Amino acid sequence: NAGVMQNPRHLVRRRGQEARLRCSPMKGHSHVYWYRQLPEEGLKFMVYLQKENIIDESGMPKERFSAEFPKEGPSILRIQQVVRGDSAAYFCASARGAQTYEQYFGPGTRLTVT
Amino acid sequence: GESVGLHLPTLSVQEGDNSIINCAYSNSASDYFIWYKQESGKGPQFIIDIRSNMDKRQGQRVTVLLNKTVKHLSLQIAATQPGDSAVYFCAENTGQAGTALIFGKGTTLSVSS
């Protein structure tokens, strides 16, 4: 019974490049949350998606960041024109449904911008 | 040893001691609380949760206490083991459908043999 999967686990990008982070939720889960964790800090919510819908993106920066969760395939968090301040660990969590408060986290993608 | 009181960013204990990690939450509308354990280089791992209609819940070697009057949450770990060394986060949720978790500041627990 596979858990939440994220890839890549580590990603290095130069300033100005694009970063694509992928998240495959647990089997049977159709709700995905993305969080960002800066060094020495707790996780901060970015965006919540259901299949083909963005439900809440209140934590997402207005520019350069976008997220999708297509009908088929993983959820993707895209960061365009990365800057050094984007360096962080990005975690996704999945839940079975909107009424399920228990969220299961993936191992994260550690993005380093050089 | 034990540590009770305000949030501490680090807690060091001896193997076999009981540990108490504290967390203050901010939203009085929060209905659901979770403790997560995060080991180095890994994602948060669910430990135990509690609803606001309870004040105590026990798991295997762990107990969560909720004091809604002062908006305080604590995690007690009995007979702490070296494998318990990690960063512990509390998280809250209003219980509204599809709402995200709000994480508190973590506490780094170090267990020495």
Full 3-state SS string of chain A: CCCCEEECCEEEECCCCCEEEEEECCCCCCEEEEEEECCCCCEEEEEEEECCEEEECCCCCCCCEEEECCCCCCEEEEECCCCHHHCEEEEEEEECCCCCCCCEECCCEEEEEC
Contact A92, A75 (CB under 8 A): yes
pLDDT tens digits for range A88-106: 999 999 988 766 667 899 9
* Residue A4: how many other CB atoms lie within 10 Å: 21
User: Which residues of chain A make contact with B36, given a CB cutoff of 8 A?
Assistant: 105
Interface check B105 vs A, CB under 8 A? yes
The verdict on a CB contact (< 8 Å) between A101 and B95 is yes
Q: To probe the interface with A, which of B103, B105, B107, B108 has the most A CB atoms within 10 Å? A: B103
User: Which residues of chain A make contact with B43, given a CB cutoff of 8 A?
Assistant: 4, 6, 91, 105-108
Distances (CA, A) of B19 to A62, A72, A80, B2, B108: 41, 45, 43, 5, 12
- B45, B49, B103 member nearest A102 (Cβ): B49
Per-residue pLDDT at B2: 35
pLDDT tens digits for range A36-47: 998 878 899 999
Instruction: Decide if pLDDT at B1 tops 50.
Output: no
